[in-house]
Amino acid sequence: MGQEIERKFRVAGDGWRTNAGIRFRQGYLCAEKERTVRVRTEGERAVITVKGATRGVTRSEFEYEIPKEDADEMLDTLCGRPLIEKTRHKVEHGGLTWEIDEFSGDNEGLVIAEVELEDEAQEFARPDWLGEEVSGDPRFFNANLAKEPYARWRDDG
């Protein structure tokens, strides 16, 4: 079984900006607490992903490449609105790859850094641009950002 152990943080500062990043478009065919089914394009690559419920910072994950044309059609016709639009930047720090998502569209202004770990207790060096941890705050899950975009709760965050 596939598994994802991921910690999320808000980003404080621009010290991470080193490359142009890749444009992502993603939408949800199913976005429930117990499971999500997501379609995503990452530049010219496309995937469909099934994720289970989050327990701590861990959840089951299954991801499969699909034809980009199929993904575009699903995003345009089947997925709920709004879509998640973001540019992903990858930054190496302390032997780990950080993925920094700079959101646009209805989530404009939100910048989140994620790091995948081998286990929940794994220690890591914190980059100086890392802000507060939001791993346990469901508002920051992409599936929830598609239901309740950052623009609607920006004053609270």
Give the whole-angstrom CA distance, residue 139 versus residue 155.
Answer: 13
Sequence spans of domains, the chain: 3-153
User: What type of residue is 119?
Assistant: D
Length of the chain: 157
Q: Which amino acid is at 123?
A: E
Give the Cα separation of 106 and 109 in Å (integer).
Answer: 9
- Share the mean pLDDT of the chain: 93
Residues serving a catalytic function are: 28
Q: Are 64 and 131 in contact (CB under 8 A)?
A: no
Tokens 């598609």, residue located? 146
Q: Is 89 helix (H, G, I), strand (E, B) or coil?
A: strand
pLDDT interval class at 107 (50, 70, 90): very high
Q: Which helix (H) or strand (E) holds 64?
A: strand 58-65
Q: How many CA atoms lie within 13 A of 44 on its CB side?
A: 0
What is the assigned CATH class of domain 3-153? Answer: mainly beta
For the stretch 57-87, pLDDT in tens is 999 999 999 999 999 999 999 999 999 999 9
pTM: 0.90
